[in-house]
Amino acid sequence: MNWNNGIQLLIYLIVLVVVVKPLGTFMAYIYEGRPAGVNVWFGSFEKWIYRICGVKDDVGMTWKEYAFALMLFNVLGLIVVYVIQRFQGFLPFNPMGMTAVSPDSSFNTAVSFATNTNWQGYGGESTMSYFTQMLALTVQNFVSAATGMAVLVALIRGFVQKQTKTLGNFWVDLVRTTIYILIPLALVLSLALVWQGVPQTLSSSATATLLQPVKDSAGKPVIEQAIALGPAASQIAIKQLGTNGGGFFNANSAHPYENPTPFTNFLEMLSILLLPAALCYTFGFMVGDRRQGWALLAVMFLILVPCLVWSVCIEQQGNPLFAPLGIDQQAGAFQAGGNMEGKEARLGIVNSSTWSIVTAAASNGSVNAMHDSLMPLGGMLPLWLIQLGEVIFGGVGSGLYGLIAFVIVAVFIAGLMIGRTPEYLGKKIEAFEMKMASLVALIPHVFILIPTALAVMIPAGKAGIANPGPHGFSEILYAFSSAAGNNGSAFAGLSANTPFYNIALALGMFFCRFWLIIPVLAMAGSLASKKIVPVTIGTLPTHTPLFVFFLTMVVLVVGALTFFPALALGPIVEQLMLNGVSI
């Protein structure tokens, strides 16, 4: 790695760390009901929403009531998104005359956006009307992100409260997250993107005259090109801030209308990790020990930073098959060097590699380069980060409550090692909490490995492979990992817009979102009912460098032991073959 690459990575990480404390403190104030400016100015609007919806905002919910409200809201939203897609041909704001989306694709997309995954088996500008993009997809980008953050807050209350059955009110947490946190941040980012050239319009496509006419498949001359437009900036802002990732255009953030300048590239990459990082500080603030939040953030950085450096180095080295051909892949004054296949020339290797790691770590799924074109080990890194359970930053809220589940596992193991009842933040960790944490850690593995094995055995699964051999296996493994991790990115060589993949991936997205949320809420309810145990000399400190290292090892071991055989059959074998090793 050269000094230029290192400086770019360092600036990005420094800016990210600087904003953690102020934003994390602000969100803690919002969730605790303290005056934080925006909630004072719009407090009457919040009350008006509760009154219109018949919500009793001063009534708490048990974990079962909280889970029921959450599931009801999200399933109804899923149905609405499905219906809008099926009838979009009859709905307004459709200047391009988009017809109904197929039933299996509509189902896949509805589940995808309801689960904060935003997996897309379609081209946005050629499939979805403006009405569908705005009312169905963009709205789900807000509320699916707010759902994850609400679950995290409920879990935090489980640690804070003592001997109570309630975890707060889901509707209150949902509304406050949306109107006080997500909408203001998205508004600011949207304006910045529009300033930099991202379109935000209801006009139809623009037309440009080609400098050199070409011929179509029928041999007729083509002298003009239709350039897709639309209300893109508003969707792009919340897709990044909410770790959603769905692109308005098919090329996602590699499209110049989604990501036109290096400045927008920096803002969007920063937005991807902004809320997941700041929520760590929110956690520490709300539990009354900021060191706990910094410790969890340190675990995330301990895994993220080496992956960033490794990814840039791998891609910068280039393709070994080009060396015998005499092709110069060295970075210099006139070229970026390295493996530029599938990357934007205006962004270069360091920005493309950084994005691939950041988007995989944060359960975001947007791309500014094609992951399918990364070097085998470079493509393995985002795949592996997803397979860790999306707990290294992860989705907004969901990443942190997933990491807290690993904390429960870690303190339970530590308790066994020293012969004491494990505790975390003053709450005893007993059999029930351990069972729920185990479900959170293990359920995604089931929905990754079993469907992948099925897909490589049946004709419907193998039909989507464009690259036979280890890379084709990696494409399938990545698809099911992305779905189960609620990430949404893909190795684009897999043709996944088929009934088999649309349904199989949708089921993985749905169960790995809500079958994790329910155990987390159950664990929160159990913790809230317990008394707080005073700290003694035998209490395991969970904010020290030693525990940070121990927790990091627990996360790595679970991911490495479970998925190493599958990774060995895909990217590892492919890298060996690329280097001339006979397999």
The predicted structure's pLDDT at residue 134: 94
Phi, psi dihedral angles at 441 (to 5 degrees): -75, -30
Measured distance CA(137)–CA(118) in Å, rounded? 9
Instruction: Give residue 60's pLDDT.
Output: 92
| Contacts with 316 (C-beta within 8 Å, 6 or more apart), sequence order | 1, 2, 5, 331, 337, 338, 339, 349, 350
Position 403, amino acid: L
C-alpha pair distances (Å), 234 with each of 98, 134, 194, 260, 504: 21, 9, 9, 15, 30
What's this model's pTM, rounded to 2 decimal places?
Answer: 0.94
What single-letter amino acid sits at 401? Y
Distance in angstroms (rounded) separating the CA atoms of residues 362 and 377: 19
Tens of pLDDT along 367-404? 999 999 999 999 999 999 999 989 999 999 999 999 99
DSSP strand E in 177-330: where?
Answer: 206-215, 221-227
Number of Cβ within 10 Å of residue 311's Cβ equals 28
The Cβ-side half-sphere exposure at 342, using a 13 Å CA radius, reads 20
CB of 363 within 8 A of CB of 394? yes
Burial annotation 340-356 (CB, 10 A radius, 16+ → b, else e): beebbeebbbbbbbbbb
**Spatial CB neighbours of 542, under 8 Å, sequence gap ≥ 6:** 292, 295, 407, 411, 424, 425
Enter the tokens of residue 471: 């890379």
Q: DSSP state, 132?
A: I
In this prediction, residue 503 carries a pLDDT of 95
pLDDT on residue 579: 80
DSSP symbol at 207: E
pLDDT at 582: 67
Q: Note the pLDDT of residue 225.
A: 86
Residues in the chain: 583
Concatenating the DSSP letter of every residue in 248-270 gives: SSTTGGGSTTTS-SHHHHHHHHH
Q: Residue 1 has what pLDDT?
A: 60
Can you list the residues of the chain whose pLDDT is less than 70?
1-2, 582-583
Q: How many angstroms separate the Cα of 538 from the Cα of each of 159, 420, 534?
A: 20, 8, 11
| pLDDT tens profile 422-466 | 899 999 999 999 999 999 989 999 999 999 999 999 999 999 898
- Residue type at 521? L
Given this model, what pLDDT does residue 583 score?
64
